[in-house]
Amino acid sequence: MNYFTKEWYELCQKTSIHFPLKAMKEAESFSEEYFQQLYKQELAEWLRLQEEIALHKEKLGAVKESCISCEPFDREKLSQQFYQGFIHRQRYIKTILPEEILKEIADIRVCALDKASHKVIQAITLFCKNNEKLVNKTIKKYEKYYKKASKSFDRRIVENINFHDCGIIDVRQTEQYLLILFDNKYGFTDIDEIKFENYNIIKQDALLQNSRWLYDEMYKINDKYELHVLLQNKKMDLIDFIISADNITFRH
């Protein structure tokens, strides 16, 4: 990838951290009492919402006389699920935010519950906005390249490559072709198969099966199409995949 690199994608994840944050004066200083109170409030609200969802599904299943998959409301299990999400959120914040902002957070636990001081929220918002500018700058660079390069592309091919968020079910290959089969229910296409004829795999970091297609770049080099793809597997590892081919076909 020359534009939508792993580093660029990781930067994308640092553009929206500020969205759920709410300024609270109590978050300006460390307070165990405030944290305990906030945690109980957030947990109670989350459990109330989960109970409403469970009841709604139960009623929906009764009306439709169908067997809708819905686990019964389990307060203890869901409380543990909330706690695990809370722990994950703390780790995420520590990983994403720069040290100078982390030092301003009085209690990372409170921030993980989406509450922070006005000063911290301002700093995080500025951090996210600056990252967003860099993300958009790269997108514009690729658009500028693509506008010029696409004049030499077969429109039938490039217009069909729209696999963002499609999952890869299987990869089949022979000496003559490589076939990628998609689960496109979360994507934006009705294509479920792409075929590369007379191909050459230039780069492949890991297995493609069970990964999710994120972004792609198209090039034409020595009369061959060269497709660069950024994917993510179930372990959340990013995968670079580059393949060249004489021809690319699709199945709807």
Q: For residues 142 and 163, is the Cβ–Cβ distance under 8 A?
A: no
First to last CA, the chain: 27
Same domain, 49 and 119: yes
- Whether 170 maps to a domain, the answer reads yes
Same domain, 116 and 20: yes
- Whether 221 maps to a domain, the answer reads yes
State residue 69's pLDDT score.
54
Same domain, 122 and 209: no
The residue out of 73, 101, 132 marking a domain boundary is 132
Same domain, 80 and 167: no
Q: For residues 54 and 78, is the Cβ–Cβ distance under 8 A?
A: no
- Whether 143 maps to a domain, the answer reads no
Q: How many domains does the chain have?
A: 2
- Tell which residue, 139, 162, 166, 147, has the closest CA to residue 11: 139
Same domain, 229 and 179: yes
Q: For residues 240 and 201, is the Cβ–Cβ distance under 8 A?
A: no
Q: 128-137 long-range CB contacts below 8 Å, 24 or more apart?
A: 128/14, 128/15, 128/16, 128/17, 128/18, 129/15, 131/11, 131/12, 131/14, 131/15, 132/15, 134/11, 135/8, 135/11, 135/12, 135/15
Same domain, 128 and 203: no
Same domain, 160 and 128: no
- Whether 146 maps to a domain, the answer reads no
Same domain, 123 and 159: no
Same domain, 21 and 125: yes
Expressed as residue numbers, the domain containing 181 is: 155-251
The residue out of 132, 147, 174 marking a domain boundary is 132
- Whether 88 maps to a domain, the answer reads yes
Same domain, 112 and 165: no
Same domain, 126 and 210: no
Distance CA 238, CA 230 (A): 7
State residue 61's pLDDT score.
61
Q: What is the pLDDT along the chain (252 residues), one digit of tens a residue?
A: 999 999 999 999 999 999 999 999 999 999 999 999 999 999 999 999 999 888 878 777 655 555 455 678 889 999 999 999 999 999 999 999 999 999 999 999 999 999 999 999 999 999 999 999 999 999 999 999 999 999 999 988 989 999 999 999 999 999 999 999 999 998 889 999 999 999 999 999 999 999 999 999 999 999 999 999 999 999 999 999 999 999 999 998
Same domain, 124 and 173: no
How many residues are there in the chain? 252
- Whether 138 maps to a domain, the answer reads no
